[in-house]
Structure 1
């Protein structure tokens, strides 16, 4: 594949992966909701199943994936994609680790440890963070300006009042937000992340990478 083809493939992969962030993935064999590496492998399985499998998961908001020893190959797939993308573009495919590099973006959705069940709002917020982290437009903007050249953004779920801490550290933006996301709809979770990113966008002239927030068709609430 040419560098352009690799980039196009990765961007499509990321787009589909981000769209699945609001989907609950259940392992019927273990009778549990998947998280962490297990969820990442399951997402690769869903994407590999093709557009119809992904569409069904999105429509239902839930998918069943039984992981087994054969799914260890998903980690190899991710590694191959990552290596090819980095060779073709010079940008990191994986979430930035350690010291940041020019053009890197890290946007995270954190939850207090005692919250075991994730609400719809959490899923919507996590999906919006992934959109920020994987935005090629934002990466290119950071690479094309003297300062800042990196973005590290953390949105932490909280039931307390909102707090905002934004500052420059070296050549990077460090942004820590708290958001009331103990419950609510997917759109409400996304709206909170948009609010946080808008603070950075206005202060540092960043591009709009999230767009408008879709209205809630129904005021879904978790119990």
Structure 2
């Protein structure tokens, strides 16, 4: 019991792009304009940060490409993303977490994420024996990666060189986790918002969030293709 009570709280990391038209959610076009896609991206990011703000954590860090805006709630430390491809930037994000506590990294593409999806498996009692956490995405990628000991060298070994945004991305990462001898706890599968069809599905799954409200507002304008 004493060990469980003394377990350090996790660090929560979010990697994201600032919601600037033309730079985010480009695969939502042509169904949405660049401006509309940025509105949806901002709502998705705001929902993600709000949800993770209710998950018990020692630190909350936003690893951002761009500048923070009105969507940033209090309680988040903002750091810039590293240069390089997405694999390099994901690996580098773990360098902003202390290696003495678990760290879990998520993106901005799953605004339907619920706090209990992370709070339960990351609790001190539940994480005993876990070396990593893996959240599969329906498109073959992943929406979350957690490490019980987020040493930068381990993060680089797991992530650098993994092909990103392919149907095999998740499978390659899982193979690397297994090769590293890590005990992996799987999180629920979620849908990333990449396409207009994804946006409609996710809005229906989380109808009370900012993302769903934005999606409905855009649908009401009649200007969405």
TM-score, length of structure 2 as denominator length: 0.31
TM-score, length of structure 1 as denominator length: 0.31
Q: Which has the higher contact order (CA 8 A, sep 6+)?
A: 2
Q: Which structure features the higher share of helix residues?
A: 1
